[in-house]
Amino acid sequence: MLQKGEAEFYEFEPNALVFKKQWVAAATVSKTVGRGVETPRVFTGVVSQSAIASAVPFTPRQDDLIENMDELREAIRNNEAPFMASLPGRIIREIKVVASITTKDGFTQRGTANKIVSGQNKDGTPKYRTVVNKFAVADIYILTERGVRTKVSRIVYGPVDSARFKPDQNEITTLQTAIKSVPVAVETVGTPEAVPVPIPQIQIVPRDYFVNYDAFYTQVFYIQDGTLVASPDFNSLLTNDERVALGNYGASTIEAIIKLKKSGYPVDSYPHKKFHNEIDGKVAPQLNTESFEKFFGTTVSVSTAPAGTSLPAPAISATTLYEFYTAQGQRLPSVSQRSIIYEALGLGQASLYTGTGEQNAKLLSKLQGKF
């Protein structure tokens, strides 16, 4: 039990994982710097050190003589994969509980102070003491080939409720052991295993679609029960910035037609018909639809690409669905279209898909064949 004016701290001997428990008469110890000048160094919590994973030795496999590009590729595969597998065993993690952290903007952030009841005064009123929360962090080091530890990063796990959570050294050591027993996934260099690529397929209701007679057209139509049904204007697909960049209405329309074709709507293949909003010589009522999905009665299914088909590299490395589809020259499907893909890929019910960040992340990983 700490007495007033005392502090408990732990030291470790590098590379030996030996901890020394010490008591000092004040909360600081001194470190001599310069010419006899002493500055205080505060120990605020426990320190535990361990490797991220068990050490895996790496032995280079040198080629006798590299004479062409294929042999160079083979040498890379033979060496980089085992080297990457050995890296986790050279990474050292030190878990600490510290009083302050430095944010990415360079500011010092300290824990919040809380008043808790610590007893009662002689008059029966509650006695309070102030507890300042700290932060759980991990300093990450890498052991170079010369055996020198080099710090590469600090991970801030989060603030610690210092009133409720006071881990001792045994708990920290147990935690380190448990973490170390979890295998670390390492992506190896080599030929990736072929995975089936899910491909969304758009089907539209077959109808007698047509465009107006002029060579320049901006909508698609069909006739149903004496009513002229019109699609949205093609330019509605574009943002204001895109329209400004394209410069004029004609260029915008052409760009929108290209986007529609990439989305599975062959609007440039429909026959041209001469009409003046008339059916059988009479002015016909016109129904304007609010989306191309509704106009075409769009449904979406998912098929698998033929064997040997692979995604382009930008699609595999994409971090958003927009980047994934754009990398393949496609337009991002609407939420309703993606909901069908979501269900078809076994991720959940289409009715529950609303396009949240978590749902989109799962969908992206599935489309990239990562699980």
Q: Please tell me the chain's helix, strand, coil percentages from 3-state DSSP, rounded to the nearest 5.
A: 25, 30, 45
The string of pLDDT tens digits covering residues 73-112 is 888 877 887 788 778 778 888 888 888 888 777 788 888 8
In the predicted model, is pLDDT for residue 310 greater than 80?
A: no
Over residues 129-151, mean pLDDT: 85
Please, is 75 exposed, middle or buried when counting C-beta atoms within 10 Å of its C-beta (0-12, 13-18, 19+)? middle
Amino acid code (one letter) for 126: P
Grade residue 191 by pLDDT with cuts at 50, 70 and 90.
very low
What is the predicted pLDDT for the residue at 234? 92
Model confidence over 266-299: pLDDT tens digits? Answer: 888 999 887 766 777 777 888 999 988 889 988 7
The tokens for 47 are: 């320190």
Query: How many Cα atoms are found within 13 Å in the side-chain-facing hemisphere of 70?
Result: 0
Rounded distance between C-alpha atoms, residue 268 and residue 41, angstroms: 75
| Single pTM value for the model | 0.38
Q: Give the range among 3-17, 61-75, 195-209, 335-349 with minimum mean pLDDT.
A: 3-17
Summarize the confidence of residues 188-211 as an average pLDDT: 66
CB atoms within 10 A of CB 151: 11
Mean pLDDT of 227-240: 90
> Which residue did the predictor score with more confidence, 195 or 355?
355
More confidently predicted of 350 and 197:
350
CA 233 to CA 256: how far, in whole Å?
9
pLDDT reported for residue 304: 57
Positive or negative, the Cα torsion across 23, 27, 156, 1?
positive
- Tell me: pLDDT of 20 over 70: no
Return the pLDDT at 371: 65
pLDDT mean over 229-252: 88
Q: How far apart are CA 230 and CA 228, in angstroms?
A: 6
- Report which residue type is found at 204: I
Residue 32, H or E segment: strand 28-33
Number of H helices, E strands in the chain: 9, 21
Token readout for 213 is 């007679």
β 28-33/37-42 pair status: antiparallel
User: Which pLDDT score is estimated for 54?
Assistant: 64
At residue 38, the pLDDT reads 39
Taking the C-alpha atoms of residue 106 and residue 97, their distance in angstroms, rounded to an integer, is 20
Q: Are strands 211-212 and 272-273 parallel, antiparallel or unpaired?
A: parallel
Beta carbons of 265 and 204 less than 8 angstroms apart: yes
> What is the chain's length?
371
Alpha helices in the chain (DSSP H): 69-86, 169-180, 240-246, 249-262, 292-296, 313-316, 321-326, 335-344, 357-367
| 32-76 per-position pLDDT tens digit | 334 443 333 333 455 556 666 666 677 787 777 788 887 888 888
pLDDT of residue 192 exceeding 60, the answer is: no
Q: 124: phi > 0 → left, psi -120 to 50 → alpha, else beta; which?
A: left
Torsions phi, psi for 322 (to 5 deg): -60, -45
**Whether the predicted pLDDT of 134 surpasses 70:** yes
Has residue 308 got a pLDDT over 50?
yes
**Over residues 1-20, mean pLDDT:** 38
Residue 40's pLDDT is what? 35
| pLDDT greater at residue 241 or residue 190 | 241
CA dist., res. 371 & res. 363, Å (int) = 10
CB 351 within 8 A of CB 339: yes
Strands (E), 65-180: 91-98, 100-102, 108-110, 113-120, 126-132, 134-143, 149-160
**Could you report the per-residue pLDDT of 115-132, keeping only the tens digit for each?**
877 788 888 888 888 888
Q: What would the two tokens of residue 225 be?
A: 């029960």
Greatest Cα-to-Cα distance within the chain, rounded to the nearest angstrom: 106
Q: Which residue has the tokens 């309070």?
A: 128
